[in-house]
Structure 1
Amino acid sequence: MITRIILSFFILSLVSTHSFAQQKRTRIGIAGLTHGHVGWILRAKDRADLEIVGIAEPNRELAKRLTEQHGISMDLVFDTMEGMLEKTKPEAVTAFGNIYDHLAVVEACAPRGIHVMVEKPLAVSLEHAQKMKALAEKHNIHLITNYETTWYPSTFKAYEILNSGEVGDLRKVVVRDGHRGPKKIGVSDEFLEWLTDPKLNGGGAIIDFGCYGANLVTWLENGKRPKSVTAVTQQLQPENNPKVDDEATIILNYDDSQAIIQASWNWPIGRKDMEIYGLKGVIYADNPTDVRILSADGYSGFEEQKLELEYQNTPFEDPFTLFLAVIHGELVLDDYALPSLENNMIVVEILSAAVESAKTGKTVYLK
């Protein structure tokens, strides 16, 4: 008997009561190794629920370094996506290359019925995103986007509190993400090369960290598109980021609320935090596990509640567990859930408008 269980914590819906542990190992391909987050999938090579069957990476030196580091045979490495897909026949592919290549990954996988998960953001442009969406729908594959903040307990506790009505109707969201800059924190040469390339990444900090805020705000706004987008960018480290911005502020204007996204490669301390303001109080998601709720009292008074959360280890402790559940039909994402295609199409629309606004010095009104 099939049952339907609503999990408010993940804003997702399970459609099967079967244990994930009972699944056969899903054949996974990896598209690219240049993304700094690729270690996440490489470390998963011995999991009981997935098997890495092929890797597409033309940089043999990089491939040799990473496969040796993670105890993976170079026999799994192919110079091309086509070669890897034809030889290894994966059921799903995870993309860990530059953002511009996300479209090529979907173009290769979708006609073969291979599901795809990309690292954030979905695409470098709205044109790319629309092509990817059309391919996914035509060939009936799942196309989802992974963000680190999707796995923060504080993210979902903040959403839960907002929707409980405890702080009143939403009026403002402020999201801050970033660090000192990719070169300053010491990312690999292969990662730095495309992360600071306006074609391969779509921009600098405005894309790399602006996408987090656009993703979270779209979710908090239940899939609403902003009326307008205004953005200002700066290049405060021209010696390190000569081709792209490294400082960005994006303002999203909605009918009855506003969002401010602060994306920076100039924070002295790495951060991913969020403030949610309602009519009666404010929610601070200070880091992955700490949440504060301030309930207004009079003009400037307030009562503060502090929550210290723990990571939940089941059933979706990481992107791969969720990805497998989605492709095996055990999980149906809500339309504007954080990893969903619907949410991330709006994210790319926001980012594209932000890039245009920053270049022209004008507010961009969405059609």
Structure 2
Amino acid sequence: MADVLRFGVVGLSSDHVWHLLDALRRQDGVEVVAVAEPSPALRERAATEIPGVTGHESAGQLLDCGSLDAVLVCCDNAAKAVVVPAALARGIAVYQDKPLAATVAQASAIAKALAEHGGTLMCAWHTVFDPLYDEVGELVRGGLIGDVRFARGLAGHAGLTGLGVSGDFRAWLTDPERGGGGSFVDQAGYVLTAFADYVGPVRRISGFGGRIDPGLPARIEDNTAAIVEFESGALGSVDTRWGQIGPLPLRYAFHGGKGTVSCFYDRWEIVTEAARLDGWDPMPAPPGLHGFRRAVQPRSGYDDEARYFVEHLRSGEPMKRAVSVESALHVQSMIAAYYASVEQGTAQLVDPAP
């Protein structure tokens, strides 16, 4: 691996991309050398913010410019199914924003390309890099709270207008063909990734969706709820919102036969039969149980995930499953089952996990 890793960027319409770019450029031995974006205004912004960067109108032009080690892919979800296989076919490593694609068929094409060409692909559900995410996963999988019987996950933000989402980003976020849906495809994957990582594959989903913002297209939902059934027999619930007023009171909760794990914005809490948990502070618990708490500084950017990807390129060590194509493809299948359930009014089976 070269001393300096040369990155290209495909797609500048997502508001996330500028923060991801900043995080990449803060990594030692990384140089962002080229961008691909149809919009002249966005290419001009990149030229202003990244000295010496070369601008291209299309992904094909960028991928054929030569000497790229990796590419950050932040184009619309449907376009990823063209861009990512093309990069892998050229031996270029891929760091892509979530989700894998807009549909299962597109996501499967990406997985097929990785299997055919090999190489590196990280699908970054950003919350996988939140403080304590990996440690808590090990505790849950290790049986600290017993077999998980029920999982709960919430995701929401102030909405496209409330967040000041740019017109370029909104244009494809609210296009069912380019984005794949609304709030559920945008947000539920964070929860579903943690569910599959901590508890195991999901077998079936029953979904409900609503549109509160009258300014959204008819096929774009901004308020959702889903019930999931895991292959283990455990149950779970997911709800998402574009238009969350105030902070989320809870992010995740996992309820097992021996205890409960809860994740809040600024802390994790565990109530369990175990009498000791190294590195955790004690907190009150019901009789016969023990409580533990860890305060966390909420993730404020993307530096940890950028560093993880760069270090993986240099070390060649296997990626954790939560950012793998296998996990992302299973999440895409869960998202597809949700939309099918909303449309047909019945619970839908999820394609088996890879």
TM-score (norm 1): 0.84
Q: Which residue of structure 1 lines up, in the alignment, with residue 239 of structure 2? A: 262
Distance 1:286 1:79, change over 3 A: same
2:137 to 144, 149, 159: 159
Shift of residue 311 of structure 1? 7.8
Q: Which residue of structure 2 lines up, in the alignment, with residue 84 of structure 1? A: 62
Question: In angstroms, what is the RMSD of aligned CA positions?
Answer: 2.5
Q: Deviations over 1:145-168 (max 9, x none)?
A: 112211111322321332343322
Aligned residue for 1:209, secondary structure, equals helix
Distance 1:206 1:243 in 2: 12
Distance 1:45 1:295, change over 3 A: closer
Residue 9 (structure 2) pairs with residue 30 (structure 1)? yes
In structure 2, stretches of 5+ residues that fail to align are 274-283
Q: Deviations over 1:301-334 (max 9, x none)?
A: 965322113589xxx9522222223334432124
Shift of residue 270 of structure 1? 4.7
Distance 2:68 2:298 in 1: 30
Distance 1:349 1:38 in 2: 25
Residue 285 (structure 2) pairs with residue 292 (structure 1)? no
User: Contact 2:85 / 2:114 at 8 angstroms: preserved in 1?
Assistant: no
Deviates more, 1:58-67 or 1:41-50: 41-50
User: Contact 1:154 / 1:290 at 8 angstroms: preserved in 2?
Assistant: no
Distance 1:321 1:23, change over 3 A: farther
Identity between Structure 1 and Structure 2 (%): 21
Distance 1:232 1:125 in 2: 19
Distance 1:165 1:111, change over 3 A: closer
Distance 2:179 2:4 in 1: 33
Distance 1:266 1:332 in 2: 38
User: Contact 2:285 / 2:291 at 8 angstroms: preserved in 1?
Assistant: no
Q: Which residue of structure 1 lines up, in the alignment, with residue 191 of structure 2? A: 213
Residue 131 (structure 2) pairs with residue 150 (structure 1)? no
Distance 1:178 1:300 in 2: 35
User: Contact 2:27 / 2:307 at 8 angstroms: preserved in 1?
Assistant: no
In structure 1, stretches of 5+ residues that fail to align are 1-21
User: Contact 1:54 / 1:88 at 8 angstroms: preserved in 2?
Assistant: no
Shift of residue 207 of structure 1? 0.3
1:64 to 44, 47, 68: 44
User: Contact 1:356 / 1:364 at 8 angstroms: preserved in 2?
Assistant: yes
User: Contact 1:183 / 1:192 at 8 angstroms: preserved in 2?
Assistant: no
Q: Which residue of structure 1 lines up, in the alignment, with residue 340 of structure 2? A: 356
Q: Which residue of structure 2 lines up, in the alignment, with residue 171 of structure 1? A: 149
Distance 1:298 1:97, change over 3 A: closer
Task: Return the letter of the residue paired with 1:65.
Answer: R
TM-score (norm 2): 0.87
2:33 to 53, 58, 73: 53
Task: Return the letter of the residue paired with 2:77.
Answer: I
Q: Deviations over 1:267-308 (max 9, x none)?
A: 213547111111122111112x51111237999996532211
Task: Return the letter of the residue paired with 1:327.
Answer: L
Shift of residue 78 of structure 1? 0.5
Distance 1:99 1:61 in 2: 21
